[in-house]
Structure 1
Amino acid sequence: MYAYFLIRHLDKEWRKILRKMIIIGLSGLLIGLGINLFILPFHLLEGGVFGIGLLFNYLWDFKIGLTIICVNLPVYVLAFKLDRSCFFNSLYGTLITPILIDLLIPLSGIVHLPILASASVGGLFIGVGTGLMLRYNISPGGVDLLALLLSKHFAINAGFIVFFIDSLILASGLLLFKDPKLIYSLFTIICVSVLIAILTSFKSISLYPR
């Protein structure tokens, strides 16, 4: 009898782990596709660590994924001190997402859309990917992890926190590059923030059976 319940418990835990890994993989893939197919071709910006990674890529041709991992380090030190479960849950997302972003770089330029459509569709991909992670207390890191920590401790919707910080990053990009087309990045940031807000507002509705 004890062995039976132990097997049932282990099966349940393995199902949770498998579901989490599927969510991380799918979310990282969506974020990587959104950045490489729709954001990079027009040299647009996104918010958070993705936006910082893009800025470093445009300025010095740094690898986006590698920059994201480096920028994430201070936030992860904070997460480790404040919320260990959040830290360990998000660690996989932070490692897998940047790797997928760099692996999918060869896809940049194969989709041709007007700049407004590209900015919006890219935001939809990134927003769904990030929102799915945050919904399950996972994060691709950086601003999203910081938003997750703040939303858990201060009952503020993660989407609003992300939008505020992303707007600051966009303003920095406009000051650095003085390129009017960067204003289209605002559509990306709005789409990302709205989808994150939607996907994290109804956590009682599970996307997968528990």
Structure 2
Amino acid sequence: MGKQLLLLFQQIRARSCVIALCSSAFLAFGLYQVHSLSGVTEGGVLGLTLLLEHWWGISPSVSGGLLNLVCYAVGWKLLGQTFLVYSFVATAGFSLSYHFWECFEPFWPQLADMPLAAAVIGALFVGIGTGFCVRAGGAISGDDALAMSIAHVTRINIKWIYLLSDIAVLMLSLSYIPVQRIAYSLLTVVLSGQIIGVMQKIHKPEKVDMCRD
């Protein structure tokens, strides 16, 4: 056990931990300053938890935890122990950062009345924040862990996996969310997924190859 921990410690890179921490703080800033104001949402686990809550009364605190746990378990199985370490750093960094940003008033409250601008700006925060964390070999949320795992197995470009999973959740969400709001949400998930894909082409992680057209 001691030797395994020592080996794992030797594999962990401080640079990747810093990137995972900074990228999660960047994403938390965007979600607080943009998404929480505009009502423009994301797909993936977040959208699925809201769907389960609306139709079956299952609290997101329960469904979100279980869904993320399953996704991280899959990621650990396919991507290794270092993935779990970087993901833990990113997840903890996101939670702490979001709590920190909540101590401040919104910088641009007018975004609440500008859903198109919010969709584009929000996509930049999500795409860049998530993209950097994935490049470091970690995942901020279960969505990212699952997308990385599928890309690792199928060799499909990760941007298409993000896009298909998010669209599937958003289409299901049409059962209770107005079409106009879904349209803006669809725009932000399409843009964010493409940004993540572009970032993967710029630089490939040594351990986890996420790109193939």
Pairing 1:77–2:70 present: no
Partner of 1:26: 22
Q: 1:104-115 maps to which residues of 2 (within 5 A)?
A: 104-107=101-104, 109-111=106-108, 112-113=110-111, 114-115=114-115
> What's the offset of the Cα at 1:177?
2.3
Q: 1:83-94 maps to which residues of 2 (within 5 A)?
A: 83-85=79-81, 86-94=83-91
Distance (Å, rounded) in 2 between the aligned partners of 1:47 and 1:107: 26
> What's the offset of the Cα at 1:106?
4.9
- CA RMSD for the aligned pairs? 3.1
CA contact (8 A) 2:45 2:143 kept: yes
Q: 1:126-205 maps to which residues of 2 (within 5 A)?
A: 126-178=126-178, 180-204=180-204
CA contact (8 A) 2:86 2:138 kept: yes
SS at match of 2:174: helix
Query: Aligned pair in 2 of structure 1 residues 51, 22: CA closer, same or farther (>3 Å)?
Result: farther
Query: Aligned pair in 2 of structure 1 residues 33, 70: CA closer, same or farther (>3 Å)?
Result: farther
Pairing 1:42–2:38 present: yes
Query: Aligned pair in 2 of structure 1 residues 98, 20: CA closer, same or farther (>3 Å)?
Result: same
- How many equivalent residue pairs? 191
Letter in 2 for 1:104: W
> What's the offset of the Cα at 1:119?
1.1
Query: Aligned pair in 2 of structure 1 residues 63, 75: CA closer, same or farther (>3 Å)?
Result: closer
Query: Aligned pair in 2 of structure 1 residues 147, 122: CA closer, same or farther (>3 Å)?
Result: same
Residue number among 95, 119, 138 corresponding to 2:92 in the alignment: 95
> What's the offset of the Cα at 1:138?
1.2
Query: Aligned pair in 2 of structure 1 residues 191, 181: CA closer, same or farther (>3 Å)?
Result: same
Q: Which deviations, in whole Å up to 9, do the C-alpha atoms of 1:137-182 show, x marking residues without a partner?
A: 1111312111111112221111110111011121222222235223
Which segments of 5 or more consecutive residues in structure 1 lack a partner in the other structure? 1-12
Which segments of 5 or more consecutive residues in structure 2 lack a partner in the other structure? 1-9, 207-213
> What's the offset of the Cα at 1:70?
4.5
Query: Aligned pair in 2 of structure 1 residues 67, 78: CA closer, same or farther (>3 Å)?
Result: same
Distance (Å, rounded) in 2 between the aligned partners of 1:175 and 1:79: 30
Distance (Å, rounded) in 2 between the aligned partners of 1:71 and 1:98: 17
Provide the TM-score with structure 1 as the length reference.
0.76
- Sequence identity (%): 24
SS at match of 2:175: helix
Distance (Å, rounded) in 2 between the aligned partners of 1:88 and 1:21: 8
Provide the TM-score with structure 2 as the length reference.
0.75
Distance (Å, rounded) in 2 between the aligned partners of 1:124 and 1:53: 23
